[in-house]
Amino acid sequence: MSANKKLLILAGDGIGPEVMTQVGRVTDWMAKKRTVSFDVTEGLVGGACYDAHGSALTDETMADAMSVDAVMLGAVGGPKWDNVAREHRPEAGLLRLRKEMDLYANLRPAIVFDALVEASTLKPEIVQGLDILILRELTAGVYFGEPRGIETLPDGSRRGFDTQVYTDKEIERIARLGFEMAGKRTGRLMSVEKANVMESGVFWREIVSGIAGDYPDVELNHMYADNCAMQLVRNPKQFDVIVTDNLFGDILSDCAAMLTGSLGMLPSASLGEADESGRRRAMYEPVHGSAPDIAGQDLANPIATILSFAMCLRYSFDMSDDADLIEQAVQNVLGAGLRTADIVSDGMTAISTTAMGEAIVAEMEKLTG
């Protein structure tokens, strides 16, 4: 049995616990089959934590998150907590985790599975085989820059303002991660800003270009953010890894997500700085929310969460083969025509969350013999 891998599971609210149960099915199978054991701790976050403790995240759970190798998060929120004070709202738990773990890099893959090519709003030939990665800076930029505010001027008029600001270090660390990721994929990195109209964009381009020499195997190109939005819907397959700031990344990653056609299929990872041993703080979560409209009915698609776990294996545990196995199992299950309600097409019968989880594990078993 290999060394334990410490995993903190925070299932959260709504469909969070239902989809996370399917990840448990995968880890149980791996423990039985693949001689890998996970040292799993579970905790509360979001509304579930508020109900139990009066806040969206306890200090104990925060300390657990800082000490484990990786955190798997389901989803938080729901109408039940809409009137809770802002600092205790379910999202506050998520924001605290991201902030205190200093998760500065958000990875959002956009992959179109062959069987779901028709689910995209774009023509099949544009998206078939699509596999791109958007790397978004998550802890700086205009969402955090100072000064910011809404003020009244001496003439009585009012103005609202934010500040787009990046230090060289903040740009360099996300860019280096971009080069590393591109190096492990097809070796192409697109750095995106608006150097044509923003000083921070000129600076971003200067810093990214300045370190390109350290990655001779990666081809670096630059693109303005508005053009990138256009190119993502015109010819998305031209990209491999896109690295960009917080604001542009927010918009471009949602745009790329929709190329794949379904919220229930989209995983994500958020990574922090590597320590001397190369270990990074990391949190993995599906892109979707807690889907209160379908919660508790065994209807949710667990694939986004299962694929987030595959990312966890790849980036936190260096278990790329196992990540590949999960992704192949998902591909095959979809290829065999199994669908949850959100991705079902005409003439097909939707299966439950549980049945999808079971089918993926059965396929992993089949693939490994």
Supply the residues annotated as catalytic. Answer: 143, 194, 226, 250, 254
Among 171, 294, 313, 359, binds ligand NAD (CB under 6 A): 294
Burial code (b: 16+ CB inside 10 Å, e: under 16) for 342-361 equals: bbbeeeeeebbbeebbebbb
Residue 76 touches ligand NAD, criterion: CB under 6 A? yes
Residues in the chain: 369
Map residue 110 onto helix, strand or coil. Answer: strand
Residue 264 touches ligand NAD, criterion: CB under 6 A? yes
| DSSP characters over 310-342 | HHHHHHTS--HHHHHHHHHHHHHHHHTT---GG
Residue 151 touches ligand NAD, criterion: CB under 6 A? no
Residue 301 touches ligand NAD, criterion: CB under 6 A? yes
Name residues contacting ligand NAD, limited to 335-354 (CB under 6 A): 342
Is the bond preceding residue 147 a cis peptide, omega within 30 degrees? yes
Q: What angle do CA 311, 313, 319 make, to 5 degrees?
A: 125
Residue 75 touches ligand NAD, criterion: CB under 6 A? yes
Closest among 127, 123, 104, 105 to 114, alpha carbons compared: 127
Least distance in Å: CB of 140 to ligand NAD? 20
Among 84, 263, 274, 344, binds ligand NAD (CB under 6 A): 263
Nearer to ligand NAD, 82 or 168 (CB): 82
| DSSP characters over 138-196 | -SSGGGT-SS-EEEE-TTS-EEEE------HHHHHHHHHHHHHHHHHTTSEEEEEE-TT
Residue 290 touches ligand NAD, criterion: CB under 6 A? yes
Residue 291 touches ligand NAD, criterion: CB under 6 A? yes
Nearer to ligand NAD, 76 or 241 (CB): 76
Least distance in Å: CB of 98 to ligand NAD? 10
Least distance in Å: CB of 129 to ligand NAD? 24
Map residue 293 onto helix, strand or coil. Answer: coil
Nearer to ligand NAD, 183 or 292 (CB): 292
Among 24, 145, 183, 292, binds ligand NAD (CB under 6 A): 292
Half-sphere exposure of 184 (CA within 13 A, CB side): 10
Among 289, 319, 323, 360, binds ligand NAD (CB under 6 A): 289
Give residues in contact with ligand NAD (CB under 6 A).
15, 75-78, 94, 263-264, 285, 288-294, 300-301, 304, 342
